[in-house]
Amino acid sequence: MSCEVHVHHQPIEHAKVGKKVMDFTLETYVPREGCFGSVNLEKLQQDGKWTILFFYPADFTFVCPTELADLAEKHAALEQLGCEVIAVSTDTKFSHLAWRNSERLLEGVKYIMAADPTGALSRYFGVYDCETGLDLRGTFVINPDGMLISSEINFYNVGRNSDELYRKMEANIHLREHPEQACPAKWTKGTKTLTPSEKLVGKVYESLQE
């Protein structure tokens, strides 16, 4: 079975870090408003938003509600950074509604829950598992220009950490404002960055001590 995405019968490339992402529209359940809706990447770009796509395997599963609950704890802080958080699975919007309102771990989930029942967007981002019809655990960050700047994919049995997602968002936002800089390992807001140049070659240790 092929996992390629086709538009007008022509396969298109998967999303790639550093490249512009194709536009998409998905049906949604919006817990904050308690209603169905839709989300469109082009509109998010027009609004100057950073887009976080949080793919997960399925509603009514086991690791997934722990991940979504963890993400909910960071949702307000991510919003303050200018991010739109969108959880995505191959379930329908009706399933999202039922799961959100029955699983107590999800009581704090206010962000958008998007439906990709055909798996088209999941295939494009390389998380679709043809053997199961489910998504792997994928986190993708798209900047306000529509460029994919971060990609992370985990297998089914390893949950993610929203603290690390928040750290990476702070770093990416800082670097968008200061493109001449680079953030070293474990960088957090307010700590030292690096400014690549010929003077820094072989002298990273010394630079970090300054």
Tokens of 12: 């298109």
Place of tokens 């490249």: 19
- Give the contacts of 123 (CB within 8 A, at least 6 positions apart): 3, 4, 5, 14
Burial pattern 188-204, b for ≥16 Cβ within 10 A else e, equals eeeeebeeeeeeeeeee
* CA angle, residues 199, 204, 207, in degrees to nearest 5: 80
Q: Please pick, among 3, 64, 130, 183, the residue that the annotation labels catalytic.
A: 64
Is 64 one of the catalytic residues? yes
What's the one-letter identity of residue 95?
S
Task: Tell me the torsion sign for CA atoms 191, 78, 178, 147.
Answer: positive
Positions annotated as catalytic residues are: 64
